[in-house]
Chain A
Amino acid sequence: MTDPQSVVIASCVYGVLLLTLGYFGRRAKQRNTLEDHFLAGRSIGLVVLLLTLFATQYSGNSLSGFPGKTYRAGLGYIMSVTFMVGVVSGYLLYAPALLARARKRRYLTPNDFLADRFGSPTLHYTAAAIFAFTLCNFLLAQLMAMGHAFAGLTDGRISYTAGVVGGAAVILGYELLGGMRAVAWTDAIQGSILISGLALVVVVVVTEIGTPTAILQTLAVQAPAKVASPSFQACLTWLSTCALLGLGGPLYPQAIQRLFAARRIGELRSALAIMALVPLFVITTVVFIGITGAMLFPDLDTVGSDQVTFRVLGHLADLQPWVGLPVLLVMMGVLAAIMSTADSALLSLASIFTKDVIARRLGLRGTEVDRLTRVVPAISLGAVLLLGWIALEPRFTLWRLLEIKFEVLIQLSPAFVLGTLPPPSHGRPYAARDVLRGLMVGLTLALGLYLTGHSTIFGLHAGVLGVIANYLTAMASRRLDRRPETV
């Protein structure tokens, strides 16, 4: 395995690099406005946009969690390639119309669209609560993952607590210095490390262990169930997972804000078109690592299988000393992926509290909201302190609630999809009351099923069943309630 000392040194160098980028992000700041801080003044060009979208969509879980799931579920987890493509396909349902409107009306947060389109305070605050819940979930999970990653990769030389505190301090530092500009630049570095590390690992696995076909044929003899075609129920879950992520993934506020931050629509389209193809290479590689682990280490338990990426890397480093560099790159790539997800979630969370809650409560409009740039550091610090404290003393009852982020977030899908539809030729457009009725039915069904232990029914996720009911209710409401739209 790679010397833990070198991981400690690489982590420290990396932390300093990120803070330096934060400093340059501050120097590049053009105006002291919320738009400049949260959206980099809508100035992000193609390359940085592509890499920041990549780093946001691919979290530490994609690199270390997906191979573990592949190890346990077998080759059937190749569905992860489909659902990661599905996330990009999902943008097509509403993003073009949303973006056109966002650029005209200078939206800062996704909720600005809901407020502008529907004009309902109830919908506004409900959506803000759902976004904040999802982002807190993300941030907390990444802070904990950061602690575990530092402790695991450095063989305990950096403790879990030091990993959480140090990592959070670095993220907070560069984010407060340079806002979205610094976050996007660091995401670009993080995305590059991730891609190069994975590419090197593929080369090393193929040269040192075997080609994917050789590995799969060995595994077919060793553990036939791991390469068998999925059962009917697994196929339903496959479809349901694609729906859950395809509708929920494009609603991540941090992802939507990256769309808002694009310099030009043309560059954004090019970046998203490339992102549609990326899973074919990146996630296939990640599944390949999981399959390689299943062949090399057939008897791992759940905890062991979650570390299968590092076990495969350690095995490679034992085979060939020159493999140390790619292994170190992937390890740093995992840390980078965790940090990039955390920084995006923190920035987005701060924007939602600042714009959607405080500015709204104070009734600030137009350029008046820029007075709130002074409170952004306090909000970011408060969020990190609160979630960092929970990360240091995890409460398992809370974890149960946090597992359901997608089931909850996906319920906002009708508000965006139906809200961006062209005006109908007959009848009225969708109104806030239609969307709210759907949202309440969807949330009640999804949470009710989940919290009563029915997270899936016949392989379909509670959130997917909830969102189907949500869409049907909103559509029925529009058709049956013929009163004109009030806003």
Chain B
Amino acid sequence: MADSPPRHPRFLALLAILLLLTVPWPFIGSETVFAWGLPRWLWWSLGWTAALAVTTAWGILRLWGDEEDPS
């Protein structure tokens, strides 16, 4: 079987945690406060989404093996 992210459960767990973090849970019901021109919850969500995107790209480039013949 080719090397692939399912062979790296910690990486998949990291993706799941990042996905959970993209949701602005800590800001539920709080007042909208702006920081550097944008609502703070938006910074939170975009920041973790960027982390998810970069981690996904890293996983694709580093954990996806080159083998053409798995079995």
Contact = CB atoms under 8 A, between A and B. Distances in A.
10 contacts: A93-B6, A96-B65, A216-B38, A229-B28, A229-B29, A229-B41, A266-B66, A276-B56, A421-B6, A422-B6
Interface of B: 1-7, 12, 15, 19-20, 22-25, 27-30, 32, 34, 36-39, 41-42, 45-46, 49-50, 52-54, 56-61, 63-71
Contacts of B59: 92
Could you say which of B28, B49, B63, B71 has the most chain A C-beta atoms within 10 Å of its C-beta?
B49
Contacts of A417: 6
B50 A280 contact: yes
Nearest to B44: A229
Contact of B19 (A81, A242, A422): A242
B25 A92 contact: no
B24 A235 contact: yes
A300 interface: no
Given A78-B46, A238-B23, A422-B6, A104 B69 contact: yes
A100 interface: yes
Contacts of A216: 34, 37-39
Nearest to B15: A89
Could you say which of A82, A93, A228, A239 has the most chain B C-beta atoms within 10 Å of its C-beta?
A82
Given A75-B42, A93-B6, A231-B29, A101 B71 contact: yes
B33 to A, nearest CB: 10
A292 B32 CA distance: 19
A110 interface: no
B42 A235 contact: no
Could you say which of B12, B15, B70 has the most chain A C-beta atoms within 10 Å of its C-beta?
B70
A82 B36 CA distance: 22
Report the contact-size class of chain A (Cβ under 8 Å from the partner): 35 or more
Nearest to B69: A104
Interface string A188-217: 000000000000000000000001111011
Nearest to A104: B69
A88 interface: yes
A378 interface: no
Interface in A405-423: 417, 420-423
A396 interface: no
Interface string A95-116: 0110111011000000000000
Contacts of A235: 23-25, 28
B52 A230 contact: no
A92 B23 contact: no
A96 B3 contact: yes
B56 A265 contact: no
Interface in A302-318: none
Contact of A277 (B36, B57, B64): B57
Contacts of A246: 19
Contacts of A212: 37-38
A101 B52 contact: no
A273 B5 CA distance: 14
B2 A96 contact: yes
A51 B32 CA distance: 38
Contacts of B24: 229-230, 235
Interface in A325-344: none
Contacts of B3: 96
A99 B3 CA distance: 11
Contacts of B2: 96-97, 99-100
Contact of B49 (A75, A265, A280, A421): A280
A324 to B, nearest CB: 30
A422 B53 contact: no
Given A75-B39, A92-B15, A422-B6, A231 B28 contact: yes
A229 B37 contact: no
A78 B19 contact: no
Contact of B70 (A104, A224, A276, A277): A104
